C-alpha cells in the first residue's frame, strides 16, 4: 500500500492537497505542528473518502525532523511514493527592521527543510517504483521583491533546485514539479504581517483547493513548473521578460509598507 506524504498539511494549500489527494484515492501521511488540527483533518478525510490517513506531529524548523519523519515511516512499515513538500513561511517588512531570527527561520523552512525532505525521500523510498516530488514554491521566485527579500530569494532557490533536480532524475521514474502559486486564500498573510497586502491583492486571490488541484494535475502529468491562474501566469511571464530594474520597482511599489 502506497502513501502520499504532505508537509504543512494542517492549513492552507497543504490541507487542500490532503483533500485533493484523498479524493483521488491516495492514502496519506500528514505532517504539521498542530496535533489537534491534524487529528481532526485525518479523521474527516478518512471518513469522507475511505482512505488510510496517518498524522505525524513535527516542526519542520527542527533541524533533524526529516530523519525523525522517515524513521517513523520506516518503523510503521509505510511505503511512500509521493512527497508534497509544502511547509513554508514568509515575513514582511524592511529587512533591517525585522528580527534576524525571523529571516533565518524563513530561509531554513523554505530551503533547508525542503531540501532535507527531498533528499530523505529519494534515499528512503523504492528506486524501482514510480515516485513523485512536488515542491511548493511561489510566483515570488520569478523576481526580487523588496520588503520580502529573504522570502522571495528562498523561493528562487527552490525553483532553481527543483529544475536542476528534475534534470538529474530525468531518466529515473521520478516526476519533479515546482508549484508556483500567487496570492492564495490561506492563513499565510497574518503570521507574515501582511494583512494589508492581502487586502490590496484580494481580487486576484485564488482558492487553495484550486491551487492544489492544478498542482497535483501538473505533478502527475510531469510538468516542470505549474503556475496556477491566468493572472499569475501573466505576472510570471512579465517578471521573466521585462527589464529587471522595472520589475523590482513595480514589486516595491506594490509591497511597500504603508
pLDDT of 7-66, one tens digit each?
999 999 999 999 999 999 999 999 999 888 999 999 999 999 999 999 999 999 999 999
Please give the Cα distance from 21 to 25 (Å, whole number).
Answer: 7
Task: Report the share of the chain in percent with pLDDT over 70.
Answer: 87
Q: Tell me the average pLDDT across 234-242.
A: 70
CA 237 to chain centre: 21
CATH fold label, 2-255: Rossmann fold (3.40.50)
Give residue 240's pLDDT.
75
Kindly indicate the confidence band of residue 227, based on its pLDDT and cuts at 50, 70 and 90.
Answer: very high
pTM: 0.90
Taking residues 91-97, report their average pLDDT.
89
Do the Cβ atoms of 208 and 18 come closer than 8 Å?
no
Q: Where are the alpha helices (DSSP H) in 32-98?
A: 35-49, 65-75
pLDDT at 232: 79
Amino acid at each position: 500500500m502506497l502513501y502520499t506524504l504532505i508537509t504543512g498539511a494542517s492549513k492552507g494549500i497543504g490541507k487542500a492537497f490532503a483533500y485533493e489527494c484523498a479524493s483521488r484515492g491516495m492514502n496519506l501521511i500528514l505532517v504539521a505542528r498542530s496535533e489537534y488540527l491534524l487529528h481532526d483533518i485525518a479523521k474527516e478525510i478518512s471518513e469522507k473518502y475511505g482512505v488510510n490517513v496517518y498524522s505525524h506531529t513535527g516542526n519542520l524548523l527542527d533541524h533533524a525532523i526529516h530523519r525523525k519523519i522517515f524513521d517513523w515511516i520506516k518503523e510503521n512499515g509505510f511505503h511512500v511514493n509521493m512527497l508534497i513538500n509544502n511547509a513554508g513561511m514568509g515575513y514582511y517588512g524592511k529587512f533591517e527592521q525585522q528580527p534576524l531570527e525571523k529571516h533565518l527561520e524563513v530561509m531554513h523552512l523554505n530551503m533547508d527543510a525542503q531540501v532535507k525532505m527531498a533528499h530523505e525521500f529519494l534515499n528512503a523510498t523504492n528506486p524501482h517504483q514510480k515516485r513523485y516530488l512536488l515542491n511548493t514554491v511561489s510566483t515570488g521566485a520569478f523576481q526580487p521583491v523588496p520588503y520580502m527579500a529573504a522570502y522571495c530569494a528562498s523561493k528562487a532557490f527552490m525553483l532553481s533546485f527543483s529544475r536542476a533536480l528534475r534534470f538529474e532524475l530525468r531518466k529515473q521514474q521520478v516526476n519533479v514539479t515546482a508549484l508556483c502559486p500567487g496570492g492564495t486564500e490561506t492563513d499565510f498573510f497574518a503570521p507574515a504581517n501582511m494583512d494589508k497586502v492581502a487586502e490590496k491583492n484580494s481580487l486576484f486571490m485564488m482558492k487553495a483547493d484550486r491551487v492544489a488541484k492544478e498542482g497535483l494535475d501538473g505533478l502527475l502529468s510531469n510538468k516542470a513548473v505549474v503556475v496556477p491562474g491566468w493572472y499569475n501566469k501573466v505576472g510570471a511571464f512579465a517578471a521573466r521578460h521585462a527589464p529587471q530594474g522595472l520589475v523590482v520597482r513595480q514589486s516595491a511599489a506594490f509591497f511597500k509598507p504603508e
